[in-house]
Amino acid sequence: MKVAIVYIGAAVAEIAGCFAFWGWLRLGRPAWWLLPGVLSLMVFAYLLTLVETEAAGRAYATYGGIYIVASLAWLWVVEGTRPDRWDITGACVCLVGAAVILWGRAGKFGDLVPSKPYTPKVAYRHFSDLRRCPV
């Protein structure tokens, strides 16, 4: 549950920060909009460091699915444009991908996704070793 709260908070912070820049550059809002925007982006970056993972890239990849759903919520709530069926379908696909990245390694999907990476039976130390490939 903690990880979901962190990802949702990060998504809101990132979207709000980016929207502040959008408002300044595209909507003609005053330059002071940039201050809360920058602060919001700093909160976003901090929140992603709270995710317990061995690699930052996995935290970012999983976050991507949450970000997409949050962006569509922003589109609807803040900008007043209702997402269509393709928006919703794409968001669902992204959430499935995020779930596989987040929980697959932990074995939460049983045998559906292997919990350990594939390791070949023969270890190759150098590209030239591939000539001895048994296949």
Instruction: Please enumerate in sequence order all residues whose Cβ is within 8 A of that of 122, keeping only pairs 6 or more positions apart, or say none.
Output: 133, 134
pLDDT at residue 44 is higher than 50: yes
Distance of alpha carbon 93 from alpha carbon 69, whole angstroms: 10
Window from 11-25, 47-61, 88-102 with minimum mean pLDDT: 47-61
59-70 confidence digits (pLDDT tens): 888 889 889 999
Q: Which tens digits make up the pLDDT trace of 77-89?
A: 999 999 999 999 9
pLDDT computed for residue 60 by the predictor: 87
Domain ranges of the chain: 2-132
Q: How far apart (Å, rounded) are the C-alpha atoms in residues 87 and 53?
A: 29
Report yes or no on whether pTM surpasses 0.75. Answer: no
For residue 14, the tally of other CB atoms under 10 A from its CB is 21
Average pLDDT over residues 94-109: 79
